[in-house]
Structure 1
Amino acid sequence: MSPPAGDGRPDWEEGAPERLYVVTAGRDRPSRRVPLDLVTLVVSQGVPEPGMNPEHLAILRMCAGPLSIAEISAYLSLPCSTVTVLVADLVDGGHVEVRAPVSATARPDVTLLEAVMDGLARI
């Protein structure tokens, strides 16, 4: 950590281990087992509450539409492991919903697609 800035606060370096420790309250994994990986999609389910830390607020604001853990990590310039802890906190508080991405092996219902195509052809 760098010496305190003129206003008495520490001058945090981006990605400094001390900052990451503070952001996650010293945790290196979520408090509860939430299945999260780099491609897990995160969507806000509520509004920020007073007293939330800045990183939680940023995640809530940026996830109005689905974003992956990897994207959130890039936007916040934080390691994915840190973002995973933060997102798990928000899941625990009911502030975000997480979804697994659609599997590449998942196949659409062919009957439904044919019905849609037939309906469009009649228009």
Structure 2
Amino acid sequence: MKRLGPDDDPDRLYTVTGGRSRAADDLTLDLVTLIVSECDPAPGMQSEHVRILSMCHHPMAVVEVSAELRMPVSVVRILLSDLLDSGRVTARHPRPVTAAHLPDTDLLKEVLDALHRL
């Protein structure tokens, strides 16, 4: 069982999210959605929002933001949702993989055979 660290204090997480248990549009942010800052932090912003904006100058996946903040993904989604709603970050969703984007199976077999011969 995971022990709660100083950043996982349930009272603190409740405060950070304003008592919310899920983001308004929870489905738009999956674990691999890339988050990118659109502005610098402003004075008076919540410290977690400041950290997210500072981290995401380059695209960073939701799960990476969660790990860096040492907070549960559910809490990070709420924070990111706030930033998305205010236009301070954008979300880049990964492209779905279709059959047209997959390599030819014959080519994969040839590569596998070549690797076995090594």
What is the count of residue pairs matched by the alignment?
97
The structure 2 residue matched to 1:72, chosen from 56, 65, 78, is: 65
Does structure 2 retain, via aligned residues, the 8 Å contact 1:13–1:19? Answer: no
Q: Unaligned 5+ residue runs, structure 2?
A: 103-118
Change (3 A) 1:37 1:48: same
- Over aligned residue pairs, what C-alpha RMSD do you find? 2.0
Q: Which has the higher helix share?
A: 2
Deviation per CA, 1:79-118: give whole Å up to 9, x if none: 000000000000001000001113333639xxxxxxxxxx
Aligned-pair CA distance for 1:37: 1.0
Q: Unaligned 5+ residue runs, structure 1?
A: 1-11, 109-123
Letter in 2 for 1:41: L
Instruction: Tell me, in whole angstroms, the C-alpha distance in 2 between the residues paired with 1:20 and 1:100.
Output: 26
Change (3 A) 1:33 1:84: closer
Does structure 2 retain, via aligned residues, the 8 Å contact 1:91–1:98? Answer: yes
Structure 1 counterpart of 2:36: 43
- Structure 1 residue runs of 4 or more that deviate by more than 4 Å after TM superposition: none
Aligned-pair CA distance for 1:65: 0.6
TM-score normalized by structure 2?
Answer: 0.75
Letter in 2 for 1:107: H
The structure 2 residue matched to 1:56, chosen from 38, 49, 63, is: 49
Structure 1 counterpart of 2:93: 100
Q: Identify the range of structure 1 (40-49 vs 29-38) with the bigger mean alpha-carbon deviation.
A: 29-38
TM-score normalized by structure 1?
Answer: 0.72
The percent identity for this pair of structures is 46
